Amino acid sequence: MNFFEHQAKARSSSTRMVVLFALAVGGIVLAVDLAVLLLLGTQMGSAGGVAGLLFVSTLGTIAVIGLGSMYRMASLRGGGESVALQMGATAVPEDTSDFQLRRLRNVVEEIAIASGVPVPKLYVMEHEAGINAFAAGYSPSDAAVAVTRGALERLNRDELQGVIAHEFSHILNGDMRLNLRLMGTLFGIMMLSIIGQRVLIYGRGGRSKEGNAILVIALVALVVGGIGAFFGRMIKAGVSRQRELLADASAVQFTRQTTGLAGALKKIGGLHEGSRLTDKSKAEEVSHMLFGEGLSVASMFATHPPLLQRIRLLDPSFNEQQLQQLSARWMASPPDGMQEDLAMGLANPTPSSHTPSSPAPPPLPPLSRRISITPPMVSAQVGTPAEDDYRRAGSIVESLPPELRALAARRESVMPLLLAMLVDDDAAIAANQRIEVVARLGEQAASQAWAVRQQHLGSLHPMLRLPLASLAFPVLRLRPRPELDTFLATVHAMVHADGQVSLFEYCLAKLLEVQVRESLDPERYARFGRRKPGNLKQEFATLLAVVAQSGSDDPVTAQHAYLSGLQRVLPRDHLPYAPPANGVLALESVWEGLDALDPLAKQVMVESITAAISHDGRISVAESELLRTICGVLHCPLPAMLERG
């Protein structure tokens, strides 16, 4: 199953969740009506009175459930960060000196770069001794990854990498969005139970007739709420189990080794703490998004497949007796992940750390290199990083100048750094851009940006620009919202300072704008697309014409590139090659429609863009970066190198 099929399955799971939710609401309403009928029906003198009473109870029950779901969804509008904070997790500083946290940050940065997505916010659940983790958010731009301190202490680097790769599968495949919506809807189902509990707790002292009636109603609400809890757990189990197995499989495909992920699962099964969380109420609510079971539940309500089953899919020879032996050994001497790293020669948790048996990361390709690709080959890599991408990510991080990494890690320098990446090579255009920066952010910010451009970015390898932006993004998100709004206005002004801005610079600016806006209002931009290519003919014609024109000064060659891309997505339509008069700025009208395509239609879209950029079957390093940037804007992340090693 590829990225687009995962997305389509997530969308169908979302529809299935809505249907199950509706059935659960119907069951709860029926139970409430029955309870009302038994308790009060005999007091009504007519059939009309009974019908009115049932109407009021039905409407009230639906209102309670609906308001509960709306309230919970509103509390999750902040996306992944809000979930992490509600779980009591604390943010991991970018400049942390904690050895375990630094190792975590380096693993996450490598995987983010290899996946082609922004580095997520990192959190640690300091007081949780169990081995667990989760990824939460509406999109990669607002994703947060949280791990327990137990995971940091007990897992070695390979095992931690396997766990993080598992969580990145949820980030890439649309699972996070589904999980957040599941949290919101199920909270409404639980509302009656919550209300009943609160009334019983605070209403025990009342002895009046009215007080006794209220306690009876609260008891009924608590019992009926148990029906809601039953349905809620069944829905979570039904939606979550298969996606956890898919995430395990994706993690193995990414890391190309099963020992890390299998080792983490074995430690969960062999250690006393397992994967359990201490706060049962919080663990219940997020159980469907955790790496391992957060609390002990009956198998029919389990949100994850049986642990031994997950291990055997990775290590078929493993059995329960071996798990018991590991448990007995670790009871006497619990594993220490950092000591295991030392034993494997990984004393330094740097991005380039890898096991001695792993091949060295390949060097960055020369700018003159051209690689052979096909549109299906590229679409198959979207959201599907492999082990060679992970090794390349280590090489990319190593190749970034320390000065640039330092700028990306500091709040005061991250905006000038990103603006420097948008400065045009043409002196006249750059002069207009500087005027726009000074008008919005001041002379100091403009001077810093232009200094960074002159000192560091002039000779920067094209493959390092997107990874640098990915590393800078978590720090950028720390700025206050008014500053981010001003930053976006500045980016927009720089791109529109002159219509001659290059396609790559325009798309890089657009990618930054999309990611920042999604991080500011994550729920607003979260959606599963449903549109079809036939309804977006003009959008495709405009995008492919701009891409074709930017790739060749020869109109005939550009037309061939355009037709090559159009044939992929709209083979029966005859749309003439007509480059827009305003060049790249014409793309402002295409992004929203194309981003709303059905997931499987997006696969065809990626193939059409690839065909237009590489109509001769070969692509340069600069062209591959342009392709990665365009696909990033359209939420189809590509790995750092399109050629498989």
Look up residue 476 and give its amino acid: L
The β-bridge relationship of strands 144-148 and 133-136 is: antiparallel
pTM, entire model: 0.86
Closest C-alpha among 618, 539, 622 to residue 573: 539
Angle (CA) 25-27-33 rounded to 5° is: 100
Would you say how long the chain is, in residues?
A: 645
What is the C-alpha to C-alpha distance for residues 185 and 219, in angstroms, rounded to an integer? 23
DSSP string, 343-364: HTT--S--TT---TTSPPPPPP
What integer pLDDT is reported at residue 207 of this predicted model? 55
123 three-state secondary structure: strand
d(CA 566, CA 544): 7
Cα–Cα distance measured from residue 197 to residue 192, given in angstroms and rounded to the nearest whole number = 9
Cβ–Cβ < 8 Å for 160, 124: no
Residue among 405, 401, 467, 390 nearest 118 (CA): 467
- For residue 593, how many other CB atoms are within 10 A of its CB? 16
Question: What are 366's two structure tokens?
Answer: 């020369």
Classify the C-alpha dihedral 458-461-466-472 as positive or negative.
Answer: negative
**The predicted structure's pLDDT at residue 375:** 92
As beta bridge partners, residue 122 has 145
Q: How far apart are CA 579 and CA 11, in angstroms?
A: 35
Task: Average pLDDT across each block of 10 residues of the chain; the chain has 645 residues. List them in order.
Answer: 76 74 84 78 66 84 87 86 92 88 92 90 94 93 94 94 93 84 82 72 58 68 75 78 84 80 93 89 85 78 87 91 91 86 66 51 75 89 82 83 91 93 88 94 95 89 89 90 93 82 85 89 76 93 93 90 94 91 89 92 94 87 89 90 69
> What stretches of 174-301 show up as alpha helix (H) in DSSP?
175-189, 191-202, 209-255, 259-270, 280-286
What pLDDT does residue 164 have? Answer: 95
Catalytic positions: 167
Do the Cβ atoms of 627 and 609 come closer than 8 Å? yes
CA distance 181 to 63: 18
Domain boundaries, the chain: 1-329, 374-395+527-633, 397-465+478-501
Q: 497 Cβ partners below 8 Å, 6+ apart?
A: 424, 429, 432, 433, 435, 436
Is there a contact between 120 and 144 (Cβ–Cβ < 8 Å)? Answer: yes
Q: Which amino acid is at 512?
A: L
CB 177 within 8 A of CB 10: yes
State the pLDDT at residue 356.
47
Query: Phi, psi at residue 618, to the nearest 5°?
Result: -130, 155
